[in-house]
A and B are shown apart, each in its own frame.
Chain A
Amino acid sequence: DGGITQSPKYLFRKEGQNVTLSCEQNLNHDAMYWYRQDPGQGLRLIYYSQIVNDFQKGDIAEGYSVSREKKESFPLTVTSAQKNPTAFYLCASSIKVRGLGPADTQYFGPGTRLTVL
């Protein structure tokens, strides 16, 4: 089936640890995105990538890092520098050729719930 997968579904982290959240898509989409959602809130953009080996900071990038070595994969690392990492993390992708026109519809993965113990 085509779609976006995220793993793990639930993740527990001790303070001071780095953790990496996986996001994979087989939709052949150019662009991928990471969002954070806090309880009762909308989504806020952490990082986005419009092409392999290139990514841009979103609105709340501090304490996070990403890589885009393959078109299908956009992993997010939550570092120990992120002071309040407990949240729901959502990955998305869309057909988006950099610099050309608005993005197509964004499709979302099922999310990862990260809890810091």
Chain B
Amino acid sequence: GIQVEQSPPDLILQEGANSTLRCNFSDSVNNLQWFHQNPWGQLINLFYIPSGTKQNGRLSATTVATERYSLLYISSSQTTDSGVYFCAVELAGNTGKLIFGQGTTLQVKP
């Protein structure tokens, strides 16, 4: 089956620093989503990004579908950015099924 690999697995930043999270996937996909899971377990949608680049405030994401990777950029990080970031891909075939990566755990220190 398709493999979804995220890197790095863990990341510690000082408040104000920038970071890049990566998601590699092993097969063609219909779409890709980035989520943030807060310390209470709630998953929040960040981006729905099957291809191209999107920006939302201090966050932006780029997916290069032909090369099977996506990047999530966090600029000027804040302590509230802490948590786990997941990418998830929908397999080709229009089932709606999402396959999740293992996540990147981010800790932003004040």
Interface residues of A (CB under 8 A from B): 31, 33, 35, 37, 41-45, 48, 50, 56, 58, 88, 90, 92, 94, 96, 99-108, 110-111, 113
Contact = CB atoms under 8 A, between A and B. Distances in A.
A102 B33 CA distance: 12
Contact of B42 (A44, A48, A106, A110): A110
- The A interface is mostly helix, strand or loop, or mixed, namely strand
B97 interface: yes
Contacts of A41: 102-103
Nearest to B87: A42
- The B interface is mostly helix, strand or loop, or mixed, namely strand
A44 B103 CA distance: 12
A48 B97 contact: yes
A105 B98 CA distance: 10
Given A42-B103, A102-B31, A108 B42 contact: yes
B102 A102 contact: no
